[in-house]
Amino acid sequence: MAVWDDVLTGLDRQVYEQFRGAKEFGNRPALVVVDVNYAFTGLKPEPILESIRTYHTSCGERAWKVLPRLQALIKSARQTGIPVIYSTGIDREVRGAGWANRARKAGLLAPLGEAELEQRRLGNRIVSEIQPQPGDVVIRKIGPSVFFGTPLNTLLNEMDIDTVIVTGTTTSGCVRATAVDAACLDFYVGIVEDCTFDRFEISHKVSLLDMHAKYGSVISMADAAGYFEAACGRARSGLVSAATSP
């Protein structure tokens, strides 16, 4: 049963069953881990209303419940030679700057003090449980999508990637923006349901429903790991065939 099953009822369900078509994956995937940093997880597992006292963008305990599954999927990607790409924010040194902040219009831009700047740097640090390893790619981004204003598309093309498997947070924000951009750039797109999270459960469910209907396929962590194994096997088979051909 899909995670959005309890919010899709009546006529909407009938239309959805007619609208959703089959979607495919390619042979050369990359795993993208969107913004799993302390600003979105909080510094420790705790209820969201407590966690947002430190970072107002935190998703609280929901984030920490996802981390073990995300950790396992990242391990699976590395073991099968699938590129792992992380994103996080840039360390803006000005209060009020940023794509979603109206302080620019209100004339409230101001330099951050050292304590605030350190708080922001810590917030942008990728959570230690899934920290990048040598060979991984880390992209600093300035907008919701990991593609916007970054070299991600070029990097994927250089690696001959045809499929983007998206994980991370928030499902309704940066994950969705990344999935939409990936589809616009003609990548096959997968979104890993149990490796994504949001501060609002309804946003998580409905965003996954929308992405599954329009931009890609929502899959489980187990399915993603199985796909990595299969892609790895096809790649090895192709290398063997190339090596033995006359």
CATH number reported for the structural domain that contains residue 207 in this entry: 3.40.50.850
For residue 191, which phi and psi values (nearest 5 degrees)? -125, 125
Question: Does residue 204 lie in a domain region?
Answer: yes
Question: Does residue 175 lie in a domain region?
Answer: yes
pLDDT value of position 241: 44
Question: Does residue 172 lie in a domain region?
Answer: yes
Q: Find, among 127, 37, 24, 137, the residue nearest to 77 by Cα.
A: 137
Residue by residue, pLDDT tens for the chain (246 residues) are 799 999 988 999 999 888 877 788 999 999 999 999 999 999 999 999 999 999 999 999 999 999 999 999 999 999 999 999 999 998 765 555 555 555 445 445 566 666 777 777 788 999 999 999 999 999 999 999 999 999 999 999 999 999 999 999 999 999 999 999 999 999 999 999 999 999 999 999 999 999 999 999 999 999 999 999 999 988 777 644 444 445
Q: Find, among 160, 155, 172, 162, the residue nearest to 86 by Cα.
A: 155
pLDDT value of position 174: 97
For residue 55, which phi and psi values (nearest 5 degrees)? -130, 115
Question: Does residue 14 lie in a domain region?
Answer: no
pLDDT value of position 244: 41
Question: Does residue 237 lie in a domain region?
Answer: yes
Domain assignment of residue 130, given as a range? 27-93+124-244
C-beta atoms surrounding 88 within 10 Å:
25
For residue 198, which phi and psi values (nearest 5 degrees)? -150, 160
Question: Does residue 119 lie in a domain region?
Answer: no
C-beta atoms surrounding 102 within 10 Å:
9
The b-or-e profile of 158-182 (16+ CB within 10 A means b, else e) is eeebbbbbbbbbbbbbbbbbbbbbb
Q: What separation in angstroms does the CA of 8 have from each of 69, 117, 185, 205, 208?
A: 26, 43, 29, 10, 12
pLDDT value of position 103: 45
Question: Does residue 16 lie in a domain region?
Answer: no
Whose tokens are 């994103």? That residue is 87
Q: Are 174 and 205 in contact (CB under 8 A)?
A: no
pLDDT value of position 243: 41
Question: Does residue 101 lie in a domain region?
Answer: no
- Please enumerate in sequence order all residues whose Cβ is within 8 A of that of 11, keeping only pairs 6 or more positions apart, or say none: none
Q: Are 163 and 29 in contact (CB under 8 A)?
A: yes
pTM of the full predicted structure?
0.89
Report how many domains make up the chain: 1
The b-or-e profile of 190-222 (16+ CB within 10 A means b, else e) is bbbbbbbbbbeeeebbbbbbbbbbebbbbbebe
pLDDT value of position 98: 58
Angstrom distance (rounded) from CA 111 to CA 113: 7
